[in-house]
Amino acid sequence: VTGLGSDAGGSLRSAALHAAGSAFDAIVAPFAALRRKHRVAAATLRAAGLPLRRAYAIDVRRVRALRRHRRLRRALRRRGPSAIAVRWEGLERLTEAVRAGRGAILVSTHGGPRDAIPAALLRAGIVPLQVRQADPPPWAPASRAVVFDARGPASERARALVTALAALRGGDVVRITLEGHARRRARAEHRARLGRLEVPAGGGAAALARLSGAPVLPIVASVGFAGRVRVVVGAAIAPTSSPRDAAAFDAEMKERVHEAFERLFAHDPAARFERLRWAVEIGTWGRPRLPVASATPAEAVA
27 binds other proteins (CB under 8 A): no
Considering beta carbons, is residue 166 or 295 the nearer one to other proteins? 166
Burial zone of 39 (CB within 10 Å; 0-12 exposed, 13-18 middle, 19+ buried): middle
Considering beta carbons, is residue 23 or 162 the nearer one to other proteins? 162
User: Using CB under 8 A as the criterion, what x/- string covers residues 228-247 for binding other proteins?
Assistant: ------------------x-
* Distance, CA of 99 to chain centre: 24
Q: How many CB atoms lie within 10 A of CB 14?
A: 22
254 binds other proteins (CB under 8 A): no
Task: List 233's β-bridge partners, or say none.
Answer: 219
CB of 160 to other proteins, least distance (A): 8
Distances in Å between the Cα of 43 and the Cα atoms of 16, 139, 254, 299 are: 35, 35, 28, 16
- Footprint (CB under 8 A) of other proteins, residues 146-165: 146, 153-163, 165
142 binds other proteins (CB under 8 A): no
211 binds other proteins (CB under 8 A): yes
- With beta carbons less than 8 A apart as the criterion, state whether 233 and 91 touch: yes
207 binds other proteins (CB under 8 A): yes
Instruction: Give the footprint of other proteins on this chain (CB under 8 A).
Output: 146, 153-163, 165-166, 187, 203-204, 207, 211, 246
